[in-house]
Amino acid sequence: MSLVSHCRLPLPSQNSFRRLVSPGPAPGRFLRTDYAACSKVTSVEADLQNLLARFDGDGDGQLTYAEANQAFAALQAQLTLNVSPAHTPSAQAPSEPAPVAAVTANRPSPATWDLQVANGFRAALARGESPIAALLSYMASKLSNKGRARAAASDLLWSFAGMFLAVTALGVMNLHVRSWPVVGEWHQQGLGLLLGSFGTLCVLIFGRPEAEAVRIWNLLMGHVIATATVLTLLHVLGPSILSRALAMACMIASMMFTDSVHPPGGALVLMAVDSTAIQKIDWWFMLYPSLAVTIALLLPLGIAINWLKRNVRFDFPISLSTPDHGPVVEPSPSPSSRLRPKMA
């Protein structure tokens, strides 16, 4: 019998539905709702942790009814593949593990931004709510600093401090860089130190340090791919509309193939095509100024800010905090507490 058919979300308020993970008879545990036991599973909390986080597209700690049904379907598919015949009375011998490709094929991808918008409007219409009212409600929930992505006062302060110090340091360096040995001559010829890519990179380092795009692999490999691609095409085609478009297209395809998508790389490509100063320094652009300044300044400052965020934590006064959140606690909530229905 279908797991989804047993676990339909009720339509009343959020408090009317909570998923409970409770111990069951060995060797497994039961995934339960307020209404029925759904399925016997092994390591259900780990499954919820991995699966449910993929379906909360807007990061507010709540799921729409459609997203929750998709999560149940994905969990059922994964559990079906992971159940060993040894757990059934009629089994005589354990079967071989399912291929990884089969497991991956049954896991739906998170909804893209356009599907999130479409699903939100469809849910609003199903409730008899106008799209404008649903949009205003969504904006109000985001502006109230609630949900899983809620920022504590300490996070805001340390991110503010990190961004301020980084941009100030870049500005001071830019005043004196023309007198530096070796690279000073490049800057005298028009090479700028305040690259547009630094703005995007600082947002990731200080605002979303957990983002995949700012992992060390993405940062280094994405930078190498972007600069190597654009410089190669500049040598072959010269600066033109074609070389610009082809460099951007090759860059994104290579980043996706190597799992190293790095947004600041796009800014590096556009700057290289349109800057004669960058074209003069040629292959040195792979090392300077973007990579060198990132390693020497931005990453060490980001490490310090991340340490402060983890170890020096405080929040807004109780009167200003949201009622759904107590004091800031370092451990993440259990996966079962994150799955609760939302209106949009």
Q: What is the reported pLDDT for 212?
A: 92
Average pLDDT along the chain? 76
User: Which range, of 52-66, 104-118, 214-228, 245-259, averages the lowest pLDDT?
Assistant: 52-66
Query: 127 falls in which pLDDT band (50, 70, 90)?
Result: confident
Give Rg (Cα) of the chain.
25
Q: What is the reported pLDDT for 287?
A: 95
Q: Which two tokens stand for residue 95?
A: 């079967």
Distances (CA, A) of 296 to 169, 189, 201, 291, 302: 12, 23, 14, 9, 11
List the chain domain ranges. Answer: 3-112, 153-311
pLDDT(272) > 70: yes
pLDDT (tens digit per residue) in 10-61: 434 344 333 333 344 444 344 444 434 444 444 555 556 665 667 766 666 6
Which of helix, strand or coil describes residue 98? coil
pLDDT(78) > 90: no
246 contact partners, CB below 8 Å, separation of at least 6: 233, 237
User: Which range, of 26-40, 119-133, 277-291, averages the lowest pLDDT?
Assistant: 26-40
Alpha helices in the chain (DSSP H): 3-6, 44-52, 65-82, 100-105, 113-126, 131-143, 153-176, 183-188, 196-207, 216-237, 241-257, 264-274, 276-281, 290-293, 299-311, 335-338
How many Å apart are CA 78 and CA 49, to the nearest integer? Answer: 13
